[in-house]
Amino acid sequence: MKYKFISRTLLVNETLKIVSLYSDLKDWNEVRKVVLEDNLLQKNKSVTLQKQFSEIKTRLEVLPEELLDYLKQAELNTVRLILLLASARKYRLLYEFIIEVIRDKYLSFNYTLFEHDFEKFLRDKSIDYPEIDNWKQDTRVKMKSYIFKILEEAGLVELENGNRTIVKPYLPEKLIEMVVKYKPAFLTIYLISDIDIKRYKEKYT
């Protein structure tokens, strides 16, 4: 397995524009055409516009239609949580860092996230995936930067005076139900305990 390089944060505003357009057209080819012709994301360069649209599209495509519809009407904090799910579905490295480091620390009552937590995570991963050792230092720094920023935008980490605190986000009951019906294991990215996940599965399935 290879880990895909993460090159964007949650892209909240841009994604909402794409979701709204997709809701009207229900055809990704048509959506792409409008986005490029109208410069919907307001980028100075065509290549940047195309790359960002492609990134957003591939993230949204992993979500079921019900969650895409919910995105349009959800509050901003909930939107961020749904986009975290989409990103975690696309990027295995992000998903594993959340459940193996962020969630593990939170459930162990250890609420501080350090820079070296990511480096240790990569060292542990390199045992099974030695190609990680071949990553350039610049690549490792960028991956950490994007992952930490995604966590901050989604509300799992609060940054204050240079210190990062892990926070369990509030999930509307409707989102919990939809995730259970989609892929209940992904409730873990919201730092929910196994006991509560079991309870939610019994309630909604």
- Structure token pair of residue 178: 């939809």
Q: Kindly report the CA angle at 41 between 35 and 42, in degrees rounded to 5?
A: 115
The 8-class DSSP code of residue 160 comes to E
E strands along the chain, which residues? 112-113, 157-160, 163-166
pLDDT for the residue 3: 78
pLDDT for the residue 168: 97
| Count of residues making up the chain | 205
- pTM of the shown model: 0.94
- Distance between alpha carbon 55 and the CA centroid of its chain, in Å? 12
* 117/125 Cα distance (integer angstroms): 12
* 35/39 Cα distance (integer angstroms): 5
Q: How confident is the model at residue 40 (pLDDT cuts 50, 70, 90)?
A: confident
Summarised one tens digit per residue, pLDDT across range 143-167 is 999 999 999 999 999 999 889 999 9
CB contact at 8 A, 176 and 200: yes
